[in-house]
Amino acid sequence: MIIITGAAGFIGSCLAGHMNRQGREDIVLVDDHSRPEKASNLSGKRFIVKMDRELFPHTLAAQADQIEAVLHIGARTDTTEQDVALLDRLNTTYSKQVWEFCTAFQIPLIYASSAATYGDGSKGYSDAPERTPGLEPLNPYGRSKQLFDEWVLQQEHSPPFWAGLKFFNVYGPNEYHKGRMASVIFHAFRQISETGQVKLFRSHKPEYADGYQLRDFIYVEDVVRVISWLMENRPASGIYNLGTGQARAFYDLAKATASAMNKELVVDWIDIPEDIRDTYQYFTEADMNKLRLAGYRDVFHSLEDGIGDYIQQYLIPGKYR
């Protein structure tokens, strides 16, 4: 039996579908299942039961010996959220409860951290454990993830295998419900469809040209493949970056989106909103050496290939993964 938290969300639902395609149906889908806008993400998925996040992990203690792994993807992922108590409860405290459950019953655990822990990037993007304590996230969401990573590295006892994955900019199907927090590709597709233009942020730093702010964009299909590989192969436990290792410009993203839609690229330049301007990341790029040295060999989708697949297979027909 496999437990997936955040199972009705973007990455969690894609992960459940990936497990189904691998022949796994012995899955418990943990989430806040009261949100109707996420229901379609689980349409057609095969599983044992849906469980409310408030009931996990305690109600499964009697069946702990049947659990092969816990894939803890659930979190409050809004990078503009300012309610520190909410983030502490959902991202830090809840994750500690999941860790303690997996430690007590010796269940392998893979959990979602975030590249938001790297802050402005001035301290680099190394996932080496000795570099983690000095990181300075720029927002409460990043700090909630950082606090848990730091706590994990201080624990004397742990699950038999664990991996914390620092997701960089993940995009792909099943993010229809995410609103403002959906990927830039999703928003670009909607904007081009509705107006013929795509909005891109002007740069507020002289060293970056407009539209040439850089991020490490990774297709969700690559993310779920890495999670599956970690669950099966169990290399050394630790925190791992999960990006492609190649930063790309937002202008490149917009160009690839328009191309996948067979449209001419027309850009509407806008200022970065003031509420995120001071915490906006101009450059992210995952150092992927640790995962590669652990033995992961698959090639990640290029930005153009990932966007092409996402738009043509999912966004244009309005399909879910």
Residues 178, 199, 208, 251: which is the catalytic one? 178
Report the half-sphere exposure of 67 (CA within 13 A, side-chain side): 27
Of 100, 103, 158, 105, residue with least CA distance to 129: 158
Residues 94, 125, 141, 240: which is the catalytic one? 141
Which residues does 304 contact at the CB level (< 8 Å), separation at least 6? 256, 259
| Alpha helix stretches (DSSP H) within the chain | 10-21, 84-87, 94-104, 140-153, 184-195, 220-233, 250-260, 274-277, 289-293, 303-310
Rounded (10°) angle between helices 220-233 and 10-21: 60
Q: Report the C-alpha dihedral over residues 74, 134, 183, 71, rounded to 10 degrees.
A: -20
- Per the annotation, the verdict on 314 as an active-site residue is no
H helix count then E strand count, the chain? 10, 13
- Per the annotation, the verdict on 141 as an active-site residue is yes
| Active-site annotation, residues | 141, 178
